[in-house]
Amino acid sequence: MRFAGARLAAMSDTIRYGIIGSGMMGLEHLWNLHHVPGASVTAIADPNGPSREITIAFDEGRNQIAQFADHRELLASGLVDVVIVSTPNMTHRAILDDVLATDLHLLVEKPLCTTVADCRAVIAAADARRERGCDAVIWVGLEYRYMPPVAKLLQEVRTGTVGSPTMVAIREHRFPFLEKVGNWNRFNRNTGGTLVEKCCHFFDLMNHITGDRPVRVQASGGQDVNHLDERYDDEVPDILDNAFVIVDYEGGARALLDLCMFAEASEHQEEISVVGPLGKIEAFLPDSTVRVGLRVEGRAGIRSTAVHDDRVAYEGFHHGSSYLEHLDLIEAVRTGSAPAVSLEEGLMSVAMGVAAHRAIDQGRAVWIDDVLADPTA
């Protein structure tokens, strides 16, 4: 089944967006799109009536938004050019099957899917769509690379400031998972597991920083503090709340993730460090600071810069990264340029999370190629 829409975007001054899933991230996209020139939200779809009502209320009359309980009605409505999928993780595969049967542009929130097998199925559906002549944009919402201090760190890496990255370390010390509708995010079967749900962002950053392919993952983690006193239909949540993950890369670089989700008492929620033979680059959030130090200058030569991007018209939950992502997305829709974050990158970030969970469960190093080749992963 094919629906019109994507072809119209290139000819229209206003790009019409439909949001499937009007929870927290759906609202985040709505608020960002309020500030994106040439963007209008024209439809939302969510089976949960109160979520739809909240979205309409928070739109504050800026848009004429049609409401649908079923995403398929939105897709068939002819009201949208771009679809944003921000539904619970476990629903992505089925919804993407329906979206990819249309000619609409697409942004799907991270993680692409909860399993490698479902990610591969989505890629196959996208390939089939291209084969039938549809060149609409397909974009994965791994927006952390757009955070201004992270973008500055990436720029320094790309220009060779510290040489080829040898060690990458990412620390996220933060608050526990938030409450979601139906408490879906309390269980691995729905999220893909913490290291897929939350950490695909960081695995994507590791790949982006090193410019290399991950080959092996080692990990240790557990559920030691959070959600242990919660019960949902007599079930105790099973999501990890802390982990260390080590990733080895084809070219010899290695990366470390240090995750703790009961560390609200931290000055920095995220810290990213890249060390090469010439020196070290660090990025810190939420204060948006980047530090660069060169070995030849020692400690005395370390320079610290507060990084901001003047294009950011709305900070949102992610330090302006979602807004900057939307600027690039709408440009890709208008010009037909390639997505900045591909389905293949979304797949790899999920595969690394799956490998990390498998490494914890089995107490051994896990090879990425084994995960990618496993039809049950």
| Stretch 64-91: mean pLDDT | 97
What pLDDT, on a 0 to 100 scale, did the predictor assign at position 13? 85
Residue 240 has pLDDT above 70, yes or no: yes
Instruction: Convert the pLDDT of each residue in 201-228 to its tens digit.
Output: 999 999 999 999 999 999 999 999 999 9
Buried b (16+ CB within 10 A) or exposed e, 258-297: bbbbebeeeebbbbbbbbbeebbbbbbbeebbbbbbeeee
Residue 259 has pLDDT above 70, yes or no: yes
The DSSP secondary structure of 78-112, one letter per residue, reads: S--SEEEE-S-GGGHHHHHHHHTTS--EEEEESSS
The distance from CA 306 to its chain's CA centroid, rounded to whole angstroms, is 24
Instruction: Convert the pLDDT of each residue in 311-321 to its tens digit.
Output: 999 999 899 99
Q: Tell me which of 35 and 13 has the higher pLDDT.
A: 35
Same-fold call for 6-136 versus 144-328+347-371: no
Vertex 239 angle, CA 172 and 341, to 5° = 55
Categorize the per-residue pLDDT at 166 as very low, low, confident or very high, splitting at 50, 70 and 90: very high
pTM for the predicted model, two decimal places: 0.95
> For residue 128, what is the DSSP state?
H
As a whole-number percent, the residues of the chain with pLDDT over 70 amount to 97
Instruction: Convert the pLDDT of each residue in 305-349 to its tens digit.
Output: 999 999 999 999 899 999 999 999 999 999 999 999 999 999 999
Instruction: Specify the CATH superfamily of domain 144-328+347-371.
Output: Dihydrodipicolinate Reductase; domain 2 (3.30.360.10)
The distance from CA 234 to its chain's CA centroid, rounded to whole angstroms, is 31
Q: Rounded to an integer, what distance in angstroms lies between the CA atom of residue 345 and that of residue 349?
A: 6
Instruction: Convert the pLDDT of each residue in 98-120 to its tens digit.
Output: 999 999 999 999 999 999 999 99
Q: Which of 201, 151, 110, 141 is nearest to 339 (CA)?
A: 141
Categorize the per-residue pLDDT at 12 as very low, low, confident or very high, splitting at 50, 70 and 90: low
| Stretch 149-173: mean pLDDT | 98
In the CATH scheme, what is the code of domain 6-136? 3.40.50.720
Per-domain residue ranges of the chain: 6-136, 144-328+347-371
Count of CB atoms situated within 10 Å of the CB of 304: 11
Phi/psi-derived region of residue 2, left when phi > 0, alpha when psi is between -120 and 50, beta in every other case: beta
Residue 7 has pLDDT above 90, yes or no: no
Residue 236 has pLDDT above 70, yes or no: yes
Work out the mean pLDDT of the chain and round it to a whole number: 95
Q: Rounded to an integer, what distance in angstroms lies between the CA atom of residue 305 and that of residue 307?
A: 6
